[in-house]
Structure 1
Amino acid sequence: MDFAWTPEQRDAYDDVRASAERSFPPTADASRLHDREAWRRLGRLGLLGLCLPTEYGGAGLGALDTALRVEAFGRGCADTGLVFAASAHQFACAVPISGFGTPEVKKGLLPGICSGEVVAGNAMTEAGAGSDVSRLAVTATETADGYLLNGEKTFVTNGPVADVLVTYATTDPAAAHLGVTAFVLDRETPGLTVSEPYDKMGLVSAPAGRVSFQDCLVPAHGVLGEPGQGAAIFQHSMRWERACLFAGYVGLLDRLVERCVEHARTRRQFGRRISDFQAVANRIVEMKLRTESARLLLYRCCWEMDNGGGSELNVALSKLAVSEAAVAGALDAVRLFGGLGYLRDTGIETMLRDAVPSTIFSGTSDVQRLLIARELGL
């Protein structure tokens, strides 16, 4: 069992981290996602097609090498919203298009997705179907020309700025999860309406909103995979998302530890560095322990995916560990910085706000616990 990175992996990590720091320096402006040049910059850095085939402009990487680069991106880029938006674009949208789209659809969309010329949004969640994706209210009725979509999706990441959407709808209500079908469609499709971005607590630069379908015709080539295969396609993309997207949060955890160590070494109280106080040092030690534990679980999950596995147990353990560590670590950082941690200028409170939704999207922490319990036979 080898825990060491290869020299190529180390160089790639360092290159991505340095490039992210240069390309996306800390700023008080959290609206950069609306600037298409930011997406093109991501494309030039190769961060939008890490796991996509080289024939479409991707890097053709496996899960572990993809995760290492996303981790470096999350560590180097202070805008976690941008890291999240780019990762959702790749793992929740490009992965199912790459794996299940027709050759024409892949050729038409994936090069633009990799370059940043095309922004993709993931439309799965509904007001009444968050974790229970087998009961989607959005319907798709087959016609001679394709499928007519009707209903509304919510919390569509990148939805307000997306050029294409990957969505899921019920085609056979009697078949439960076997009656869900996946689709990809253009934003300009008649009958498709996109809302303004939600005003959110965190991940501000990753716009999310509602998408409505009213007799929205999707041609037959817009079906991903086969009719009724949507649930399996969604779970396939979720394995990539719950593993590789959350590598960006491991990068955030590294940034938190670095900031806290630096602060504890330089901040003085009662005539001493606060790092000399055991309560402070122990808090940072616990942050580091959670970070490394989460990192190892994530790496194991990705290694397993690269070797033909990707068990639900290890994917859920990884997602749960990373997201809970991110929230706990950010709370610890706020406490350690004290009043400074409550000020926006320091960036600590921003990391806390960006960490909180990680326990909600891609399956809540409680859903991950249910999955783990089920895998344990409970």
Structure 2
Amino acid sequence: MDFDFSEAQRRRYEEVLAGVRRQGPDLTGPGVPFARAEWLAAARLGMTGLCLPAKYGGGGLGALDTALCLEAFTEGGADTGLAFAVGAHLLACAIPVRDFGADPVRAELLEGMAGGELVAANAMTEDGAGSDVGTLGTAIVRDGDEYVLDGVKSFVSNASAADVFVVYGTSDRDAGFLGQTALAVPRHLPGISVGEPFTKMGLHACPAGRVEFSGCRVPVRYRLGEEGQGNAIFKHSMSWERSCLFALYLGQMRRQLDECVAHAKRRRQFGRPIGAFQAVSHRIATMTQRLESARLLLYRACWLLDRDRPDSQATALSKLAVSEAAVANSLDAVQIFGGPGYLAGTGSEAQLRDSVPSVIFSGTSDIQREIIARGAGL
């Protein structure tokens, strides 16, 4: 196994780092929620089209290279909420369109998604269907050359900003998982109502809210895959999301660790830098261990995906390790910074708030442990 980056990967990583730092506040301090100008700033770095085909204006990257760019994006200082919004758009929405959309619709949507002109939102979760995605109440009913879409989706990331929704619903109540269908639904269609963004603990730049579809008529050409293939399409997108999206937390942790080391060298108590005390130095050592072990698991999951060997246990191990490391490291960062770490606006508390939802979205930590246990033969 080769643990080193290629020259192209190193160059791309440095380009993203430099690009974030060059664009400054548009990426490091976006609005709440993000403004379209800030989204386009990310698009200029290629972030909104990393793994989309070059013929549609994308970067044509595989899973590992996509993850590396997301990692560099937040290491360079990009806001974690904005990075999450970009990742959700790309991995939960553009990937299903890329791999399951019909040709005319694929071209229509992917060019705008890659260039940042279109913002996409994934509409799977419902108030009564979170971890149990087999109980979707949203109905998708065929009526000639259209589908009639009825239902309410919740926790839709990018909802208020979205130009297109990737929606999953039930087209056959008697078929269980085989009765779900996926649609790409343009925002302009009649029968779509988008609620105000939720007030959340963290990831403030990414607006999340409810979306209601009431008698929304969607042309059949916007169906993704075949009828009844929705659950398989969702699992496919989750293999990309769980493998790649959490790289943005690797970048956050790398920047956070650098900040903690610099503070431990600078801050003095009892006549010496606090980094000279084992209570601090060992905490930083543990933070480093969590980051590096999580990074290896994530890179492995992406490596497998790039070789058409997606492994649900590998992605679950990666997602679990990265998300729980992000929370634990953020708690440690608050401790290292002490009183200032608890203050809003100094960085550490925001990193903690942004990390907490990582153990919930894309499958909770408990769901990941169930997948890992099944992979172990239980």
TM-score (norm 1): 0.98
Residues 207-216 or 31-40, more deviating: 31-40
2:261 maps to a residue whose letter is: V
**Matched residue of 2:237: which SS?**
helix
Q: How many aligned positions are there?
A: 378
Pairwise mapping of residues 309-348 of structure 1 onto structure 2 (< 5 A)?
309-348=309-348
2:73 corresponds to:
73
CA distance in 2, matches of 1:293, 1:52: 29
Aligned counterpart, 2:250: 250
Tell me the secondary structure at the aligned position of residue 10 of structure 1: helix
Structure 2: which amino acid aligns with 1:218? V
Task: Check 1:32–1:112 CA distance in 2 against 1; reply closer, same or farther (3 A cut).
Answer: farther
User: How far apart are the structure 1 equivalents of 2:31 and 2:164?
Assistant: 20
TM-score by length of 2: 0.98
Structure 2 residue aligned with 1:371 = 371
Q: Could you list the runs of 5+ residues in structure 1 that have no partner in the other structure? A: none
Q: 1:176 corresponds to which residue? A: 176
The CA deviation string for residues 292-335 of structure 1, in whole angstroms up to 9 with x for no partner, is 00000000011111112111000100000000000000000001
2:201 maps to what in 1?
A: 201
Q: Could you tell me which amino acid in structure 1 is paired with residue 162 of structure 2? A: A
Deviations 1:244-263 (A, max 9, x none): 11001100110111010000
- Listed as ranges, the matches of 1:103-182 within 5 Å are 103-182=103-182
Alpha-carbon contact 1:254-1:291 (below 8 Å) kept: yes
TM-superposed deviation, 1:346: 1.2
- After superposition, where does 1:1-378 map in structure 2 within 5 Å? 1-25=1-25, 30-31=30-31, 33-378=33-378
| Cα distance in 2 for residues equivalent to 1:43 and 1:26 | 12
Contact 1:30 1:204 in 2 (8 A): no
Provide structure 2 residue ranges, at least 5 long, that are not aligned to the other structure.
Answer: none
Separation in 2 of the partners of 1:296 and 1:253?
14
Given that residues 26 and 77 in structure 1 are in contact (C-alpha distance below 8 angstroms), is that contact kept between their aligned partners in structure 2?
no
* Separation in structure 2 between the aligned mates of residue 36 and residue 201 of structure 1, nearest angstrom: 22
CA shift in 2, pair 1:29/1:76, >3 Å = closer
Instruction: Tell me the secondary structure at the aligned position of residue 128 of structure 1.
Output: coil
2:166 partner letter: V
- Could you give the per-residue CA deviations for residues 195-233 of structure 1, whole angstroms, max 9, x where no partner exists? 010010000000000000111111101110000000010
- Distance in 1, matches of 2:105 and 2:26, equals 37
Question: Do the aligned residues in 2 keep the contact of 1:294 with 1:321 (CA within 8 Å)?
Answer: yes
331 and 231 in structure 1: CA distance in 2 versus 1, 3 angstrom threshold: same
Q: How many angstroms apart in 2 are the aligned matches of 1:25 and 1:40? A: 13
Residue 212 of structure 1 aligns to a residue in which SS? strand
| Alpha-carbon distance between aligned partners in 1 of 2:24 and 2:361, rounded to the nearest angstrom | 24
Distance 1:258 1:28, change over 3 A: closer
Q: Determine helix, strand or coil for the equivalent of 1:48.
A: helix
The amino acid of 1:101's aligned partner reads G
CA contact (8 A) 1:25 1:77 kept: no
Measured after TM superposition, the shift of residue 21 of structure 1 is 2.1
CA contact (8 A) 1:333 1:341 kept: yes
Q: Which amino acid aligns with 2:16?
A: V
Between the aligned residues of both structures, percent identity stands at 55
Is the 1:42–1:48 contact (alpha carbons within 8 Å) kept by the matching residues of 2?
A: yes
Q: CA RMSD in A?
A: 1.3
CA distance in 1, matches of 2:163, 2:122: 11
Amino acid at match of 1:70: L
* C-alpha distance in 1 between matches for 2:368 and 2:25: 34
